[in-house]
A and B are shown apart, each in its own frame.
Chain A
Amino acid sequence: MRGSRKSTSAIFEGMSWSDARDLLRLWREDNERKSQDVVNLWETILSKNIFKLGDERLLVLEQVCLASLDTNRLDIADKCLQSLAAEFPSSLRVRKLQALKLETLEKYDEALELLDSIIKRDETNAAPRKRRVAILRAKGKHSEAIKELTDYLKKFMSDQEGWQELCDLYLLEQDYARAAFCMEELILHNPHNHLIHQRYADIRYTQGGFENIELARAHYSLAFKLNPSSIRALYGIFLCATNIAVSPKATSPKRKEATKLANWVIKELSKRQERQNVEDSQVAALEGLISSVQLAASA
């Protein structure tokens, strides 16, 4: 027995074409990468009803094209590309999709040529420049990707996706300081996004050292304030507090405060576990850490 999980096609069975269209629209707007599901929806429901979609038809075609390239369904991708190219024969957006198809086939040099031709035609077009960076990453050439992306960001400074990607690349190269810088840019753009504060705190914590850990604690706390259901932020506060409580650089009041904070986190975690009926206590393991911290802090 497979338990409560249904196969994806079972979930979509009996779905109307308008519901399918709405689901695709939701995924488009949230930028979700549900490629296999998009392809399934297309094959089972939407491809027959494509002309009922009206204005959304072209957006859906583009979405399905991307999803089918992601899942190696070149048959579907080709059909979508044909429809799109027939509709917009000289469109740069369609050309970019064709470059993506070349990427899927690992024909990176041809893809780069096509992207360069798009960039020449329109210098202000950000999308092909970003695909160039993606190709370099796919080839494993991370330092070149970083260089290209930093050049890009000098021209397109407010592209948050670009800063996020640059942060990822720096992390892959274990350049934590520069990754933190990218996150700081993102915080400036999105001061209320708890995920960004949390990731920034993660990086600072990873770097280590008393100042970084205090900074991490501040940002984990902010992340938690912005999203009280963030378990990662809670755990982050706990780790920082336990580190501060045993740090020789911390003053005695700071250490006491940190110990209190760590205990508070344990209580919060237990509360949440009870609320969600989690049977075994994940907190027991952390209590072990707390006791070693308390021994040290009182010394």
Chain B
Amino acid sequence: MADMKLSVRAYSKIILHAAKYPHCAVNGVLLAEDPKSKDSKKGKGLYITDAIPLFHICLQVTPMAEIALTQIDHMASNSGLIIAGYYLANENIKDVGIERAGPRIAEKIAENYSNAYLIVVDNQHLTLNMDSFAIVVSQYVDGKWKTKERSSYTVEKNALDVVAGLLQQRAYDELVDFDNHLDNISLSWKNPHFNKLVEDLAETFGDQ
């Protein structure tokens, strides 16, 4: 019984954000359906439905992160979602640690949602064909981030095919992160256009 399910949309945005800035560290937040608003029939697991890409420039300073979290929180509570976690891709290809980029943000998120998830992109598994999931998932337990076993979470089906397709199309050019938004506020960090791309591609894979 999986504790957490990651949607195609969330997984795609995480991977494409990392692919868009191969020479930078990137980060973002994970949004999930508010467990309090779900009816109990749906089961216990946390459903992470979306990811909001945040920064690729200077992840260690906090002011823009505070602005971003305030705005995302506002949007989330108006949409029945919660900020349930944080994702990160380090600049160094072999680095899957969390010390370098924004541990503060992750802990701030964990303050508000006690079982927050942390996803680190495993850069070495990023390929155009996406044969395996390129993520390492941890959860905040007793004040520490504990790595989760692969079996404790599921990723929505067709995610790998969709991401491979998006990478080959260079769809990351259309992904907007918060830094892009700050440079041009007419670009929306909610990414309605990119979300549609993901949906359309997922549909073509249908019920394989």
Contacts and interface: CB of A to CB of B under 8 A. Distances in A.
Interface of A: 2-3, 5, 7-8, 33, 70, 138, 140, 168, 171-172, 174, 199, 201-203, 205-206, 216, 231-232, 235-236, 238-239, 272-273, 276-278, 280, 282, 284-286, 288-289
Interface residues of B, number: 30
Contact of A235 (B58, B60, B63, B92): B63
Interface stretch (B112-120, B133-141, B155-163, B167-175): B167-175
Contact of B186 (A7, A201, A277, A284): A277
A226 to B, nearest CB: 16
7 contacts: A5-B173, A168-B58, A171-B60, A205-B62, A231-B183, A236-B63, A285-B70
A202 B74 contact: no
Interface string B165-196: 00001100110000000111110100001000
A232 B182 contact: yes
Contact of A231 (B58, B62, B74, B182): B182
Contacts of A284: 74
The 10 closest A-B pairs by CB, nearest first: A285-B74, A202-B61, A171-B60, A285-B71, A276-B186, A206-B62, A206-B61, A205-B63, A235-B67, A285-B70
Given A235-B67, A235-B182, A278-B186, 19 more contacts: A2-B169, A33-B23, A140-B95, A171-B58, A202-B63, A202-B64, A203-B61, A205-B62, A205-B63, A206-B60, A206-B61, A216-B63, A231-B185, A239-B67, A273-B185, A276-B185, A277-B186, A285-B71, A289-B70
B150 interface: no
Nearest to B99: A174
A202 B92 contact: no
B70 A286 contact: yes
B34 interface: no
Contacts of B2: none
B193 A174 contact: no
Contacts of A231: 182-183, 185
Interface centre among B66, B73, B174, B188, by most chain A C-beta atoms within 10 angstroms, is: B66
A286 B73 CA distance: 11
Contacts of B125: none
A171 B74 CA distance: 29
